[in-house]
Amino acid sequence: MQRVIWFDLGYTLVYWNREELYREHLQQLGIEKSIDELLLAYHLTDKHFMKHFPGLLGKDRSHWEKPYYRMINRCLQIDENTELLTSKQERKGRPEWRAFEAAHSTLAQLKKEGCQLGLISNWNLTARDVLENTGIMPYLDYVVISSEVDIEKPDARIFRHALELAGVQASQCLMVGDNYYDDIIGCRQVGMEGILINPYAKQGIEEINDVEVISTIHDLTALVVGGKT
């Protein structure tokens, strides 16, 4: 039976150097925090916003910038009113999207196993540039981007569109993403199975207990090849 594995994009296949930029910003203020501390702070903040403010992080930055960075500061145990990093400062620091270390090898192995691969992402019109620049695009058989179809996850219509594009049934598909409320709840509306990526075990998703959780995309191959999904 044909198998299609669908992926989210941000923080599933790719990430950007936000922790490095914020660390440099804090250092300029005389505050020293490690990359590991920043990684966890961003993770916990992302999960909080995914749960309590679904869809907000996909909106214009002016809608969420201040509360987002204040929460990061709280997670870092520094004054939440510490001078916040602005979008202008981030652009000056040259933000760069990068493929996760295991992304290419995992996608290549899944293709070798006979799987077709697709993308279902809430992203603006820069998505295809990100896919090309990170080397992800050549692995993908199908690409569904919210800004191109005018539908966003978790709306069931974007998943139905993906099924129609691939010409498959939901039972033939698996959705992999880092946002339980967009990716997992969304795909289940059309009968698709899902796997959640969370690099910190249960941290940030303590309320979630009804989905398979993996730490990195690298863990996916064993599940698929081993027939556990």
Which residues of the chain fall below pLDDT 70? 1, 86-94, 227-229
pLDDT reported for residue 63: 86
- CA distance linking residue 189 with residue 218, whole number of Å: 26
Query: What is the dihedral sign for C-alpha 199, 172, 140, 144?
Result: negative
Q: What is the DSSP letter of 10?
A: B
> What's this model's pTM, rounded to 2 decimal places?
0.92
pLDDT reported for residue 85: 72
Tens of pLDDT, residues 160-189 = 999 999 999 999 999 999 999 999 999 999
Query: By percentage, how much of the chain surpasses pLDDT 70?
Result: 93
The structural architecture, per CATH, of the domain 4-14+98-225 is 3-Layer(aba) Sandwich (3.40)
Alpha carbon distance, N-terminus to C-terminus of the chain: 14
